[in-house]
Each structure stands twice: as structure tokens, then as C-alpha cells.
Amino acid sequence: MLIKMISFFFLFLSFISFAQKAHEEKTLLIRCDDIGMSHSVNLAAEAMIESGTPFSASVMFTCPWYKEAVDILKSAENISIGIHLTLNAEWKNYRWGPVSGANAVPSLVDDDGYFFPSRASLYENNPIVEEIEVELRAQIKRALNSGLQIDYVDYHMGTAVDKPEYRLIVEKLAREFNFGISRYFDEIDLPSMYSVPIPDKLDSLIYTVSQLHDTNINLLVCHIGIDNAELKAMKDMNTFGLAEMSKHRNAELNALLSDEFSEFIIQNRIRLITYKDLCNSDLIEMKRPVDIGY
């Protein structure tokens, strides 16, 4: 009897130790935006896939390079795929317009049939709410017709959720198509690397990940790319756009692929997840965040 009690005691201690370790494990969700925007961004996504890093890939199905993105993503096993709902086209000399066609949504486009470069310039054109739904639905249907498994939606430059009536459309479409919505799983938004000085990206990433919340899911939104001639030629038409954008995106990619980051993740028992993990288990528990974020 004594031996059984001793065995039970050590079994209990082992259970407590396991529970403590499980509680200590922190969760990180990396979301890479703007996939399909350009060939160079697609190459960066391909590098992330080849590294084996679990991440969520938000695809811009409005952009000319989305089909290449589909080819790259379709056989990847370490990713979750989302639709980066898009109502803006911010790059000088490289513009895109609505999937539904400019004639179907005239309040969303400029005289050349392209999306406006910013939320402010779109609002000056008095966009019609019904046309926003038409366009977002068209983007979703294009995504589904691509053959990719779509798990979630989010929103380029925050425009699709910037006003209450727009947010209701996104929520309605997510329910209709059974998608998750990024930031609707009680995620904690981590500071972005995007505007951090180029030489400091890796240090910033390591510091940010060292500060993870221990109960909520930690969301890190990234903007990756390859610093080549194509991406160098893209200039943001907005005053808040970054100079040397291509170098910033390449530095983010390098930080994510670095040995230092990989070792930090392992040593600190950080679990990398994707939106597929959340949508498979918690879709019914989604709730609108108090601070929607972008």
C-alpha cells in the first residue's frame, strides 16, 4: 500500500510539472501580408515556406501576381492561407483595381479604374457600402476558385474594417463562407518591425518575441520581400510610406529566417501556430476586438 502511495505521489508531481511546463509555453502566430502583390514578395513567401516556419499567408487576390502566389502556396504544408481584403492600391506606376470590374463598383475607383492609394482618398470619393460588399465578395470568390484552402480573412491597410458599416460586411462574409477573421481570436498585437531601422530588425524581433504574453495568442504581422529591381521600383504614393521599402521588407525576411530567431524560438519553448489551427478549433468562439487594429 505504501509503495502504491509513493508511486501515486510521484505521478502527481510529474503531472504538476507537465502542467506548469504547458502553462509556460507561449504561442506566436506570424502573419505575412501582401503575398501576391509582386514577384519579389512571392519569392520571399517561398523562402519562408522552404524554411519550414509555420506562418499565415495573407494573399492579395486583386494583384496581377496572385496566380504565381497560388502556385507557390498550393503545396505548402506549414502555412495557413487568408484573403488580404483589398480596397487600396498605393504604389506609383503599379496599380490594381477591383476584381468585380470598375463598372460594377464605380465609387471605389479613380478615373483610370484603379483603387485609391489611401483610405482618405477613397472616402473623398464617397464609396457606396453596397459596392464594397460586391467587391469583397468578388475577391473571396476568386480566392475560392483558385483552389487554395482559405482559412481566414484580414484587411489591407485596415480599410475594409475602418468604418462600422464596412466591418459588418467583413463579418457577414466571414460567417457566410465559414472563415476566421484575423484579430477575432483575442490575439495580442505585437509591435511591427516594418518601420524599425533596417539594421535593427533582428534585434527588434528578438526583443519583441522575448516579451510574449503568456496566456493570449501573440500576433506578429510582417511584410516580407526580396530587395530586387522590381521591389525597388515600387514607391508608395502616401506620405506615410517608407523610403527604401524593398530593403525594409528584405530585412524582415532575413530576421525571420535567421538562426538567431530560430534558436530563440526553440530555447524559449515558443509554439508557432497558424490561423488554420485556430479556425479548426475556435471558429465558433470568434468575437470582435475592442481595438480592431490593422
Grid cell 478549433 in the structure block, residue: 281
Say if residues 108 and 122 touch (Cβ distance below 8 Å).
Answer: yes
With respect to residue 9, please indicate whether it lies within any of the assigned structural domains.
Answer: no
DSSP helix/strand/coil, 180: strand
Q: What is the pLDDT of residue 25?
A: 82
Q: Is residue 290 part of a domain?
A: no
pLDDT at 9: 37
173 Cβ contact partners less than 8 Å away, ≥ 6 residues apart: 133, 136, 137, 140, 153, 179
| The three cell numbers locating residue 10 | 510521484
In a domain, residue 105? The reply is yes
pTM reported for the whole predicted model: 0.90
The upper half-sphere exposure of residue 183, i.e. CA atoms within 13 Å in the direction of its Cβ, equals: 18
pLDDT value of position 281: 72
Amino acid at 4: K
Q: Is residue 107 part of a domain?
A: yes
Q: Decide if 131 contacts 161 (C-beta within 8 A).
A: no
- The β-bridge relationship of strands 55-59 and 79-85 is parallel
Per-residue pLDDT of the chain (294 residues; tens, 9 = 90+): 434 333 333 333 333 333 344 446 899 999 999 999 999 999 999 999 999 999 999 999 999 999 999 999 999 999 999 999 999 999 999 999 999 999 999 999 999 999 999 999 999 999 999 999 999 999 999 999 999 999 999 999 999 999 999 999 999 999 999 999 999 999 999 999 999 999 999 999 999 999 999 989 999 999 999 999 999 999 999 999 999 999 999 999 999 999 999 999 999 999 999 999 999 876 667 899 886 555
pLDDT score at 280:
81
Q: Do residues 253 and 34 lie in contact, with contact meaning Cβ atoms separated by under 8 Å?
A: no
Asked if the structure places residue 164 within a domain, the reply is yes
- Domain of residue 44, residue span: 25-285
The domain that contains 130 carries what CATH number?
3.20.20.370
* 18 within domain boundaries: no
Q: 11 lies in a domain?
A: no
Helices (H) and strands (E) in the chain, counts: 11, 10
Reported as a single tens digit per residue, the pLDDT across 22-80 is 446 899 999 999 999 999 999 999 999 999 999 999 999 999 999 999 999 999 999 99
Strand partners, 238: none
Residue 35 counted as domain residue = yes
3-state secondary structure of 229: helix
In one-letter notation, the amino acid at residue 52 is: G
Number of domains in the chain: 1
- Do 84 and 222 contact (CB within 8 A), yes or no? no
